[in-house]
Amino acid sequence: MSKTYTTFAEITDEQNKAWEAKYGKSRIVDLEVEVDGQSYNFVLRKPDRAVLEAMGKHAVSKNVQQTNKTLISNCVLGGDMEALDKDGGVYVEVLQNLQKLKTEAKSTIKKR
Between residues 4 and 36, which one has the greater pLDDT? 36
pLDDT at 90: 97
Q: Residue 67: pLDDT above 90?
A: no
Of 21-25, 34-38, 53-57, 80-84, the poorest mean pLDDT is in 53-57
Between residues 45 and 67, which one has the greater pLDDT? 45
**Rg of the chain (C-alpha set):** 16
Question: What's the CATH fold of domain 8-102?
Answer: rbstp2171 (3.30.2220)
pLDDT class of 1 with cuts at 50, 70, 90: low
End-to-end CA distance of the chain: 63
Residue 78 has φ and ψ, to the nearest 5°, of -175, 175
What does the pLDDT average to over 25-41? Answer: 96
pLDDT class of 2 with cuts at 50, 70, 90: low
Return the SS3 of 92.
helix
Q: Average pLDDT over the chain, rounded to whole?
A: 91
Domain boundaries, the chain: 8-102
